[in-house]
């Protein structure tokens, strides 16, 4: 496993030599404006440890916040940009690198042992595994930390097996291909839920007619694309209510709801609390005095900053 640290406004490009590697790469970015670009096709998992990460992968632009995790497909042209005082982690690899890792360590029983593209909530345990791997990868003591992190993500992905099984197709390989097409649309919906999207455009993205697209999507995920879109809009609105100073009507509009009454009704049905009550609740929590604790785990990642900067000047793949 290889390691790179990207610090304070620096950039790193993984060029075509990366496609020849059979090892996974740990990348850690910190500071304003740090950028990672991958020209070679790489798949991976991305975890913001602090702040926000703007990620372009698989033709989908999305923003990840602390507490989220995204698994990206093996695609060229991946770009990650930290926003503000961000600190983020990525575990990247070619198809060969991921096949080797998943077959040798985890015995993943599929013809194509690769992680499936998806977006998850990254709990404290997952973030701690990422922090531990970031701290030790520079010293090549990564085995147990990498295993713990990948096992956690494989556990999250276990339920996707049922969705693949529900996809149309005579063989597992065919159903898996159908699932990947549908999952690409689902990830696009999650990243762009605030936009005005129509079924015809989504169906073209999945290479289906609108009727077959809705039928296949409902079979795989047991809900319609519209129901999933509305749920993602409500989740976006809840995040904004907790973090944004925008008025509730502005949050409803920014989340894709043109009718505030419909937004209020759907929000209460989904979360069991009104938007006003959640805003008051969040304001109370924010105003409560909290003991300040040193951000020791995050600072420890860059404890060897000088060594990381020296690594940055060396070629990543040799």
Tell me what pLDDT residue 252 has: 95
pLDDT of residue 22: 80
Q: Tokens for 184?
A: 């690409």
SS3 annotation, the chain: CEEEEEECCCEEEECHHHHHCCCCEEEEEECCCCEEEECCCEEEEEEEEEEEEEEEECCEEEEEECCEEEEEEEECCEEEEEEEEEEEEEEEECHHHHHHHHHHHHCCCCCCCCCCCEEEECCHHHHHHHHHHHHHHCCCCCHHHHHHHHHHHHHHHCCHHHHHHHCCCCCHHHHHHHHHHHHHHHHHHHHCCCCCCCHHHHHHHCCCCHHHHHHHHHHHHCCCHHHHHHHHHHHHHHHHHHHCCCCHHHHHHHCCCCCHHHHHHHHHHHHCCCHHHHHHHHHHHHHCCCCCCCCHHHHHHCCCHHHHHHHHCCCCCC
Q: Specify the pLDDT at position 55.
A: 92
- Per-residue confidence (pLDDT) for residue 101, from 0 to 100: 84
Rounded CA separation 4/40 (Å): 16
For residue 56, which of 34, 31, 81, 32 has the smallest C-alpha distance? 81
pLDDT on residue 100: 84
What distances in angstroms separate CA 278 from CA 184, 229, 270, 273, one per listed residue? 32, 21, 13, 7
Which residues in the chain come in under a pLDDT of 70?
Answer: 1-3, 6-9, 15-20, 104-112, 138-143, 286-318
At 235 the pLDDT is 95
pLDDT for res 185: 95
Report pLDDT for 233. 96
Q: Is the Cβ–Cβ distance between 76 and 37 less than 8 Å?
A: no
pLDDT at res. 277: 94
Please, what's the b/e burial string for 277-289 (b: 16 or more CB within 10 A of its CB; e: otherwise)?
A: ebbeeeeeeeeee
pLDDT of residue 294: 42
């Amino acid at each position: 496993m290889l390691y790179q640290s990207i610090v304070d406004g620096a950039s790193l490009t993984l060029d075509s030599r990366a496609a020849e590697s059979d090892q996974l790469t740990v990348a850690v970015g910190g500071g304003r404006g740090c950028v990672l670009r991958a020209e070679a096709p790489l798949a991976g998992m991305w975890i913001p440890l602090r702040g926000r990460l703007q990620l372009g992968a698989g033709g989908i632009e999305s923003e990840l916040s602390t507490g989220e995790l995204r698994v990206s497909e093996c695609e060229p042209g991946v770009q990650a940009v930290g926003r503000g005082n961000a600190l983020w982690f990525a575990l990247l690899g070619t198809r060969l690198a991921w096949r080797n890792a998943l077959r040798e360590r985890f015995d993943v029983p599929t013809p194509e042992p690769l992680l499936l593209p998806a977006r998850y909530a990254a709990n404290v345990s997952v973030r701690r595994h990422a922090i531990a791997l970031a701290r030790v990868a520079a010293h090549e003591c990564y085995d147990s930390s990498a295993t713990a992190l990948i096992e956690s993500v494989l556990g999250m992905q276990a339920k996707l097996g049922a969705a693949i099984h529900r996809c149309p197709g005579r063989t597992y390989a065919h159903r898996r291909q159908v699932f990947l097409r549908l999952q690409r649309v689902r990830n696009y919906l999650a990243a762009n839920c605030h936009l005005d999207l129509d079924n015809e455009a989504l169906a073209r993205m999945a290479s289906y007619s609108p009727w077959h697209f809705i039928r296949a999507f409902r079979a795989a995920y047991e809900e319609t694309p519209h129901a999933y879109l509305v749920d993602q809009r409500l989740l976006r609105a809840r995040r904004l209510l907790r973090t944004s100073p925008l008025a509730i009507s502005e949050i409803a509009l920014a989340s894709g709801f043109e009718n505030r009454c419909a937004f209020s009704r759907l929000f209460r049905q989904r979360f069991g609390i009104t938007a006003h009550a959640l805003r008051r609740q969040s304001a109370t929590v924010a105003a409560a005095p909290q003991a300040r604790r040193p951000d020791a785990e995050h600072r420890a990642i860059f404890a060897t900053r000088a060594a990381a900067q020296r690594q940055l000047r060396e070629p990543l793949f040799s």
